[in-house]
Amino acid sequence: MNRTEAMATITSTKRSAGQLGFWAAILTVAVAAVFAVIAIPTPARSGPFCGSACVPYPYVDVAQFIPGDYLWLVPGILLAAIFVVLMGSIHAYAAEPKRIYSRIGLSFAVAYAVVILVDYFLQLTVVLPSLQAGETDGLSLFTQYDPHGLFIALESLGYAMLTIALLFAAPAFAGGRAERAIRWLFVSSFVLMVAAFVGLAVVRRDLVAFEVTVLMITWIVLIPSGALLGIVFRRAGHGLDAEPRTDSRRAEAAR
């Protein structure tokens, strides 16, 4: 393949990534916003953040809270699938020297999606029907109401891996102001996640405190960065480059 053909292939790949990435970014903003709007007002029924109508151990007397307390899981499932598409688009958009980082980021994104999809899907298809049917023996460890249960642990792990995915995707953006803002948001999400994990562990707070914090970090980062990604991908999808990429400038200077 000669240089002209290689450049044409790169341009075509970036346009395809831009077109798909634009819609993935828009959906990320919309779904993350809906996720936050539904989840934040949903009351905590147990643990340190429960203010009223708290459910005691074994956390199975919750029939009156169904299905309201489970609605927030639906946008969480959608976000996991969309995020993988978004990260795949970022990987295709990244300059070749940066793809080692975006590939690692995509791998963590897949890990996040698998953990969250399994965690949330089991709640909706196993735990919820079991609670409704009164089949509650041995179920407490698996419910979302147990502040020391598997649900909280898996959710915390999943969103921590999402921030790691964003950290490794950050080097893909090395252009103008929009890309620098995306890179800053991506790196900040990881820094905040680590600070929250360490800080809450030092003060000996329950894992549920970290789960709530990392969820907030996810929403705060994904909504503005998704909007910025929409701008970047839209330009890439139209073959525009209003913000010259650092890698391109360096290559041009070397020639």
Mind listing the pLDDT tens digit for each residue in 175-209? 789 999 999 999 999 999 999 999 999 998 889 99
Residue whose pair of structure tokens reads 């919750």 in the numeric block? 62
Report the distance separating Cα 113 and Cα 86, nearest Å: 12
Is residue 1, in this structure, part of any structural domain at all? no
pLDDT band at 18 (very low <50, low <70, confident <90, very high): confident
Is residue 6, in this structure, part of any structural domain at all? no
Mean pLDDT of the chain: 89
Question: Looking at residue 126, what DSSP letter applies?
Answer: I
Q: Crossing angle of helices 150-169/99-122, nearest 10°?
A: 160
Which tokens belong to 80?
A: 């996991």
pLDDT at res. 175: 79
Amino acid at 201: A
Sorted by sequence, the CB contacts under 8 Å of residue 155 that are 6+ apart come out as 116, 119, 211, 215
Is residue 3, in this structure, part of any structural domain at all? no
> pTM for this structure?
0.88
Reply yes or no on whether the pLDDT at 8 is more than 80.
no
Number of structural domains (the chain) is: 1
Structural domain harbouring 186:
11-250
pLDDT band at 239 (very low <50, low <70, confident <90, very high): low
Reply yes or no on whether the pLDDT at 13 is more than 70.
no
Is residue 142, in this structure, part of any structural domain at all? yes
pLDDT band at 12 (very low <50, low <70, confident <90, very high): low
214 alpha carbon, distance to own chain's centre: 10
Q: What is the pLDDT of residues 65-106, one digit of tens each?
A: 999 999 999 999 999 999 999 999 999 999 889 999 999 999
pLDDT at res. 253: 43
Report the distance separating Cα 128 and Cα 140, nearest Å: 12
Is residue 48, in this structure, part of any structural domain at all? yes
Is residue 255, in this structure, part of any structural domain at all? no
pLDDT at res. 9: 53
Which tokens belong to 238?
A: 């139209």
How much is the average pLDDT of 150-157?
97
Amino acid at 40: I
Reply yes or no on whether the pLDDT at 55 is more than 80.
yes
Which tokens belong to 253?
A: 């200077």
Is residue 4, in this structure, part of any structural domain at all? no
pLDDT band at 162 (very low <50, low <70, confident <90, very high): very high
Is residue 95, in this structure, part of any structural domain at all? yes
Reply yes or no on whether the pLDDT at 1 is more than 80.
no
Reply yes or no on whether the pLDDT at 61 is more than 80.
yes
Between 33 and 9, name the one with better pLDDT: 33
pLDDT at res. 252: 41
pLDDT at res. 2: 56
